[in-house]
Amino acid sequence: MTRTNTYFISDCHLGGGYIADRRAHEARVVRFLDHIKDDAAALFLVGDILDYWYEYRTVVPRGYVRFLGKLAELADAGVRITWVTGNHDVWLYDYLRDEIGLTVQRQTAVVDVNGTPFLISHGDDVGEHSCKYRLMKWCFTNRVCQLLYASIHPRWTYQLATGWSTNNRTGRRACDEEVEKVAAAERLLDYTREHHAKNPEVNHYVYGHLHLARLDQIDGVQVAFLGDWICQDTYAVYDGNQLSLHHFTDDNPT
């Protein structure tokens, strides 16, 4: 089978403490990767694939064996894998790059996808954000803060990070969260318009982060919000001509 498709997924949040059956959750993502292995030319993991990951110089978190093994299988078969770091997996350094051969993309960038320029972003480093969020993002990416964090024993940092993530995910009312998603999507669409005006050759934009599954057309530009793999199981695919959004199930993977 000819490899022509490029796939995009985001916000799997593997290992999240708020997920009832983490093993089944990981297995579902692995089945998706197995489904695309024969026709995928490239795979973009658009941030927050893991709910928490801090990669020390010689130590990495336990878990994710089946998922990482499947990524290695795809890479060995010739699939080009790019991992765009999000706010949950921002501390991804060189381990998976060296072990699997994937590319780590640390910020929003325009990349070539099957001969077509795409802007690919987790979505948390472009558009408007609150001062509180910008400060948190700065702390996460500041090298001094990272070194200070790394000096604390993992038994404490792991509990702190996963507890914070669980509280953030479960402590919001669903109605408020939906309103926030739509407002954040509009801010990203505003950013898209501004970027496209300066870069008219870019007609495809892919975002994660919002847990919102939606495909928009604005001024001839396609914008994909990838949704998540907590409750939506959505992904996008580009076949060389069209960008489309899909829902994965075992019975009907498209």
pLDDT in tens, the chain (254 residues): 577 899 999 999 998 888 889 999 999 999 999 999 999 999 999 989 998 888 887 778 888 999 999 999 999 999 999 999 988 888 888 999 999 999 999 889 999 998 999 999 998 888 777 777 677 777 777 788 777 777 777 777 767 667 666 666 655 555 556 778 888 899 999 999 999 999 999 999 999 999 999 999 988 899 999 999 998 999 999 998 899 999 998 765 55
pLDDT of residue 172: 55
pTM equals: 0.89
The beta strands (E) that lie in 26-79 are given as 40-46
- Every domain of the chain and the residues it spans: 5-247
pLDDT of residue 161: 67
Q: Are strands 5-9 and 40-46 parallel, antiparallel or unpaired?
A: parallel
Structural contact between residues 3 and 156, judged by C-beta atoms closer than 8 angstroms? no
* Residues shown for the chain: 254
pLDDT of residue 126: 83
pLDDT of residue 87: 85
pLDDT of residue 163: 66
Give the list of residues 6+ apart from residue 157 with CB closer than 8 angstroms, or none: 54, 149
pLDDT of residue 237: 96
Structural contact between residues 16 and 22, judged by C-beta atoms closer than 8 angstroms? yes
pLDDT of residue 207: 96
C-alpha pair distances (Å), 140 with each of 3, 91, 136, 144:
37, 8, 6, 10
pLDDT of residue 152: 75
Angle at 33 between CA 237 and CA 233, to 5 degrees: 65
pLDDT of residue 149: 72
Phi and psi at 123, nearest 5°, equal 110, 0
pLDDT of residue 165: 65
pLDDT of residue 169: 62
Q: What is the CATH number of domain 5-247?
A: 3.60.21.10
- Give per-residue burial for 99-135: e unless 16+ CB within 10 Å, then b: ebebebbeebebbebeebebbbbbbbbbbebeeeeee
